[in-house]
Amino acid sequence: MARQKRIALINDITGFGRCSVTVQLPVISAMRVQACPLPTAILSVHTGFPNHYLDDYTERMRPYMENWAANGIDFDALLTGFLGSERQIEVVLECIARFKQRDTKVIVDPVMGDNGSLYSSYTPELCAKMRQLLPYADIVTPNLTEACQLLGTQYPTGGIVTEDELNAMAAAIALMGPHDVIITGLHAGEDVRTYLYADGHGRSFDNPKIGRDRSGSGDAFSAIIAAALVRGIPIDEGVQRAAGFIGHCLAYAEELDLPWNYGLPFEEFMGELTAL
C-alpha cells in the first residue's frame, strides 16, 4: 500500500521551550514525512527553567509500542532523543528489535550533555548504556561533549579540536556501529562547524556563529537529518540544510532577544523545509 514516509520519535513531549517532540514533529511534518511520537516523558517546560513538572512515561512505553505492533504499524525510521534512565534505553532496544526491518533507518541523537558537562540526570552507567544503541544506529548525531562520552575520552580544552582529531573520533564512533557520524556544534573561530563522517570520509561544514546556544537546536537538527534520510536526500545536503535552517532561526531569536530557554522561533522559517 502506497503511503507517506513515517518516523517514530522516541523523545519527551515538552509544552513550552521548543525542544524534543515539540520541535521535531512540526519540522518533520513540514518535510512531508509523518511523525509518530513515542513519549519518554511529559514536561510542562524543559529542565532549563527554574521549575518544571515532569510525568515519567517509562512504565507506559512498552504497552504503547506493543499497541503499535498490534495495529500493524511500521516505520521508515526510528529517531531517539533524550532518554532519562537505563530502563528507557532498554525499552528503546526492544523498540528497535520490534520495528527495525531491512530498510528501517535508526537515527540516534545521544542527548547527554554540552560544553564539556553532562546533564544532571546522566551518570557514568547511563552513558555506558547509551553506547548499546550504537550497533543499531545508521546515523548518530552527537555534539563534541557527547562524542567524547561515547568514546570515553576527555573533553578537549576549550572545546577545540583539529580536523584530524575529528576524523579520528568520528571513525572510532563509526566502528561502534553507525554508518554515518555527524558531530555538531563545534567551535571554529567565528563559525560553528558541523563534521560529517560518511562512507569512511570526513568533511566539515561551517556556518557563521550567531548568538548563544538555545534549547531545541539539536532536536531540530536531528529531525531534519532523519526526514532527509527517509526522503532519499543525500546526507551532505541534509547536513547543510539543517545547519542553514538553524542559523536562520538563531538570527531571528537574537533579533527578538528571546531568552535561551525559549528555544528557536522556527515557525517563521517552515517554508524553507517544505521546499526540500
* pLDDT for position 243: 94
Contact 194, 95 (CB under 8 A): no
Confidence of residue 1 (pLDDT cuts 50, 70, 90): low
Confidence of residue 3 (pLDDT cuts 50, 70, 90): confident
Q: What angle do helix axes 86-99 and 58-70 make, rounded to 10 degrees?
A: 10
Q: Quick one: what percent of the chain has pLDDT higher than 70?
A: 99
Residue written as cell 571554529?
188
Q: Which three cell numbers stand for residue 179?
A: 554508518
Residue 146 has pLDDT above 90, yes or no: yes
Confidence of residue 275 (pLDDT cuts 50, 70, 90): confident
Range in 113-127, 137-151, 215-229 with the lowest mean pLDDT: 113-127
- Tell me, yes or no, whether 10 lies in a domain: yes
Residue written as cell 504497552?
63
Range in 50-64, 77-91, 110-124, 199-213 with the lowest mean pLDDT: 110-124
Query: Which secondary structure element, helix H or strand E, spans residue 3, and what is its range?
Result: none
Single pTM value for the model: 0.95
Which of helix, strand or coil describes residue 215?
coil
- Tell me, yes or no, whether 247 lies in a domain: yes
- Tell me, yes or no, whether 211 lies in a domain: yes
- Tell me, yes or no, whether 35 lies in a domain: yes
Question: Domain with 65 in it: what CATH number?
Answer: 3.40.1190.20
Contact 235, 228 (CB under 8 A): yes
Give the domain extent around 121. 6-269
The tally of domains found in the chain comes to 1
Separation CA 224–CA 79 (nearest Å)? 11
Per residue in 150-174, pLDDT (tens digit) is: 999 999 998 999 999 999 999 999 9
Range in 76-85, 110-119, 265-274 with the lowest mean pLDDT: 110-119
